[in-house]
Structure 1
Amino acid sequence: MRKSLIQQHETCASLRNWAGRGFWAVIDQALFAGANFLVSILLARWLEPAAYGAFSLAYAIFLLLGTVHTGLWTEPMIVYGSGRFREDFAAYQQVLLRYHWRFGGAACLFFLVLHLGFWACGAREIALSFLGLSLAAPTVLYLWLVRRGAYVLLKPRLAALGGGLYLLLYLTQTFFFLRTNTLNTFTALLAMAVASLVSAESIRWRMNTETEQVMDAEKVYNLHWHYGRWALLAGIFSWVPGNIFYLILPAFHGFEAAARFKALMNLLMPILHVNGALGQLLVPGMVRALAQGKLRQFILASLAAFTAFAISYWFLLVTFGSHLLKWIYRDKYLETTDWICWLGLLPVLVATISTISSALRVIEKQKIVAQSYGLISVLTIILGIPLVLRYSLCGSALTLLLVNTLAVFYFYRKAVILNII
């Protein structure tokens, strides 16, 4: 009896700890994503649709580069930092940061070349976006890496404090540019670069990970490449369903079509970011659950929680979606109203896919994740190009729903075969 009470007490304490971490994870994501969301809304209201569409295309390309960084640095860090290098995380992180800045320098040069090329061709708006990204890409990716380091140490509160600073700096700069009539794609990204750098440094300072210990960089590189090559492919493939439309729509229907699609997707960002915040705790939590023989219970609980959040938000969109669209964008983008309710189902599907894919990564089946996302990418392109060509925005929305529905069934089948759910 006494042993049972002790076990119940330990279980309750564990649940409280995870609830607290989940709370700070949501706050962290709300602060970072909230700032980006508000600035995206300001740009949508402030800029002409063509300029906003150009910004959306450029940022989608940055996210593709971000999947490379995440696959080779951040995602392996979550697994190895939570396990193999848990006791030597400070030295491990220093190695990762050195590799990061080399990658950041290459990213800066890449976007500068794109800026010069588009400027020479007379495409001023997209050229300004790439110039801004040449500054923002290295610092934003640095922030991503440092933030996830706080999650590896199960200290999302530190990331949330950095998020508060990021929100303050980003919005202060943005409103300054807005009041001085200088807000454009370049200044918005410049503000992001400054806010990211200062916020990342504040998180690192609070993590107090300075150490004189030296780790074998080649060992880290080999481990990350062995794990990350499949995570890299999975990241690139997973980029396709959500971002390829920012490239296809301008090709067939102009930048204005991309702007309408981005305006619609903005309404889904709050719930996607909430699930993303909780998702950052998934892999470290699953690593520990696997060690305790409780992986299946953890996966099922995560699926239930994420799906409940997504369904609640869907009901909100069904009830108030058209009013939200009009309130946020004034008289712009009102023609997208009809697809709000349908696309509101997308976060429900994404929650299932992200949970199961996290579980597959934990049991080091990242090859399966890469193959799965590869199949999804192929289906997106095969279905998306003709549908977008014929139906524009409606074709993009329909493709997203079809592909993600098929992906849910595919990932669920893989999870059943591997006996993890």
Structure 2
Amino acid sequence: MKQGTRHLGSLAGKVASSLADQATASGTNFVMNVLLARWLSRTDYGAFSVCWSFCLIFAAFHNAIILEPMTVVGPAEYGSHLAKYFQIVRRLNWYIVGALGVLAVATALFYHEANVRIALAFLAIALPGYLLLLTARRKQYVVNQPTRAFRISVVYALAAGAMLVLLRAFSWLSAATGVICIAMALPVAVWAQSRDKRRTETGDTASIALAAVTREHWRYGKWLFASAILAVGVPDIQTILLSAIVDLKSAGALRALMNFILPLSQAATVLSVYALPGLARRMKNYGAGLGLRQAVLFPAVITAIALVYLGALVACGSLIERLLYNGRMAPYLVYLPLLALAALISAIGAGFTTLLRAAQNSQHQLFAGIAATVVGVAAAMLLLRNYGLQGAMISMVLANAASTLWIVGTYCYMVHRSRASWSEAWADLLGHHLRDGKLSTAAASE
């Protein structure tokens, strides 16, 4: 009994650390965006918003090649030699980060808005450190140590917050200098990697080649990478299109409204990141047919959380806006129901896509992303010029609906084609928990 209680206590502690880590990391970006929206002019915040959208797009490329494969391929294929595997991934990561830094420079050279170009130039400097920080945090989830990820996020929050306050105090704050706050990720990432290197120094003599790891990462991540290229994030593409077709003020307003739902999206992310390694192992051991059925409660939980959060947001939107923006974004609250609808549809898709990723079906994200991009861009081209921000909101609803329909359809197809039945899946899951309970009781009695 005591051993079972300790196990539950340890699990609860790790879940709490995961939530605290994601809350701190997303909270840092959230607070930074809110303060910049309050302190900058609407045009300057619009320029920063476009820059931040490009940052998220580059991070999606990095996620496809490094983070997602590391989370799934690492424990599934190199579980007995993780220390050696991480050494190889560290080398691969530097190559990818350097290439994305060069891509950021190219974007800065060719973007049409002058003040956005300057901010993108600063992003090219800040981006490598930010991506290294994301890698350091994700690694802790692979080794089931979310508390360490939380510590990294706290240090980054303090560093970025101190820089933001310093820039504000000396009246140096602008769209470009706001990006410097992101650059504080580099020293934090170097510190975290040095600590990890000391922890993971082992006598593991396993031979793992860089080429082999690169092939495994590419095999899993190629669909995600193609999706990141062909299926740009829905809010990000709408922000960029608003800046190009309408104006920077509208782009900034969209980003400011997106801050309202950032806590929800990050909560879904942390639950997915924490659950993904365990789901991947279950799919590997028991097969996708049983695993996909047994894990259907995961998207149900994500959807329930979204309904509660978005209901509270719509009901208390005016109060929340005053607390965050002091009335600066009040004229845009009329679009909050559309934003909530888009977020709910996205949350449903996020729950099911986690199950498909655990089953190593990453290609679904490419097609779901393409559907979202085609629908979203087509709707934006038809609506933005005449309807501005409202057109962007409608485009997001349609784009998220197209993506989620593809994701849920893929899940249903994979479940339907497998030989396992729902009753067999639930019986197996119940039997697994009963066996665990008996083992814990036997161990406690000894």
Aligned to 2:361: 365
Q: Aligned residue for 1:210? A: 201
Choose from 120, 141, 145 the match for 2:135: 145
Q: 1:13 to 1:400 in 2, by over 3 A?
A: farther
Residue 342 of structure 2, aligned match among 342, 346, 351: 346
Pick closer, same or farther for the CA change 1:79–1:65 going to 2, 3 Å: same
**Does 2:105 correspond to 1:112?**
yes
Paired residue for 1:41, among 23, 34, 53?
A: 34
Shift of 1:62: 2.2
- Equivalent residue runs for 1:155-234 within 5 Å: 155-199=145-189, 201-202=191-192, 205-206=195-196, 208-211=199-202, 213=205, 215-234=208-227
Alignment CA distance shift 1:409-1:115 (3 Å): closer
For 1:33 and 1:200, the matched residues in 2 are separated by: 20
2:444 is matched with none
- Give the equivalent residue in structure 2 for 1:57: 50
Native 8 Å contact 1:85 1:92 kept in 2: yes
What residue is the counterpart of 2:409 in the other structure?
413
The one-letter amino acid paired with 2:200 is T
User: Partner letter of residue 209 of structure 1?
Assistant: T
1:388 aligns with 2:388: no
Specify the SS of the correspondent of 1:183. Answer: coil
CA shift, 1:280, in A, is 0.9
The Cα of 1:206 is off from its aligned counterpart by 4.9
Equivalent residues in 2 for 1:250-399 (5 A)? 250-291=243-284, 293=286, 295-296=291-292, 299-399=295-395
Q: How has the CA–CA distance of structure 1 residues 139 and 341 changed in structure 2, closer, same or farther, with 3 Å as cutoff?
A: same
| 1:240 and 1:380 in contact (8 A); partners too | no
Matched AA of 2:201:
E
8 Å CA contact retained: 2:14, 2:146: yes
- 2:300 and 2:337 mapped to 1: Cα distance? 22
RMSD value, Cα? 2.5
Higher Cα radius of gyration: 2
Q: Distance in 2 between matches of 1:187 and 1:358?
A: 36
CA contact (8 A) 1:146 1:204 kept: no
Change (3 A) 1:354 1:18: farther
Give the Cα separation in 2 of the matches to 1:200 and 1:89. Answer: 20
Q: Where does 1:49-88 land on structure 2 (aligned, <5 Å)? A: 49-88=42-81
Identify which of 24, 31, 35 aligns with 2:24: 31
For structure 2, which runs of at least 5 residues remain unmatched after alignment?
Answer: 417-421, 423-446
After superposing the two structures, state which structure 1 stretch, 348-357 or 146-155, moved more.
348-357
In 1: Cα distance, 2:10 partner to 2:398 partner: 38
2: CA distance, partners of 1:112 / 1:351:
33
**Alpha carbons 1:159, 1:203 under 8 Å: kept:** no
CA distance in 1, matches of 2:140, 2:342: 29
Deviation at 1:347?
3.2
Letter in 2 for 1:271: L
Deviation of the 1:54 alpha carbon: 1.2
Q: CA deviation at 1:180?
A: 1.3
- Which residue among 390, 395, 400 is the counterpart of 2:396? 400
Partner Cα separation in structure 2 for residue 408 and residue 51 of structure 1:
34
Distance (Å, rounded) in 2 between the aligned partners of 1:407 and 1:353 = 7
In structure 2, relative to structure 1, the CA distance for the partners of 1:199 and 1:107 (3 Å cut) is closer
Give the counterpart letter for 1:180 in structure 2. F
1:385 offset after TM fit, Å?
1.6
Secondary structure of the residue aligned to 2:327 is coil
Structure 1, 165-174 or 380-389: larger mean CA deviation: 380-389
- Please report how far the alpha carbon of residue 281 of structure 1 lies from its aligned counterpart in structure 2 after TM superposition: 1.4
Shift of 1:372: 2.4
Aligned-partner Cα distance in 2 for 1:355–1:380: 21
Match of 1:125 among 96, 115, 118: 115
Once the two structures are overlaid, the 10-residue window that deviates more, 297-306 or 32-41, is: 297-306
Answer yes or no: is the 8 Å Cα contact 2:132–2:189 preserved in 1: no
TM-score using structure 2 length = 0.85
Long gaps (5+) in structure 1: none
Q: Distance in 2 between matches of 1:21 and 1:346?
A: 31
Q: Kindly indicate whether the alpha-carbon contact (under 8 Å) linking 2:292 and 2:355 is maintained by their aligned counterparts in 1.
A: no
C-alpha distance after superposition, 1:384-404 (max 9, x if no partner): 221222211111111212232
Q: Tell me the alpha carbon deviations over residues 8-57 of structure 1, each in whole angstroms, 9 at most, x when there is no partner.
A: x86x7766554433221110011111111111111111111111111111
Indicate the SS of the match to 1:88: helix
Q: C-alpha separation between the residues in 2 aligned to 1:369 and 1:337?
A: 31
Q: Output the CA distance in 2 between the equivalents of 1:372 and 1:405.
A: 10
Q: How much has 1:342 moved relative to structure 2?
A: 2.9
Normalising by structure 1, what TM-score? Answer: 0.90
- Post-superposition Cα deviations, 1:200-254, rounded to whole Å, max 9, x if no partner, equal 6326515722356552111111111222211212333453322111121122211
| Per-residue CA distance 1:136-184 (angstroms, 9 max, x = gap) | 1101111111211111111111101111111111111111111111122
Tell which deviates more after alignment, 123-132 or 308-317: 123-132
Aligned residues: 411
SS at match of 1:281: helix
The structure-2 alpha-carbon separation of the partners of 1:157 and 1:368, relative to structure 1 and needing over 3 Å to count, comes to: same
Cα distance, 1:379–1:114 mapped onto 2, change above 3 Å: closer
Secondary structure in 1 matching 2:179: helix
Identity of aligned residues (%): 24
Question: 2:50 & 2:151 partners in 1: Cα distance?
Answer: 31
Quote the offset at 1:412 in angstroms. Answer: 1.8
1:113 shift after superposition: 4.4
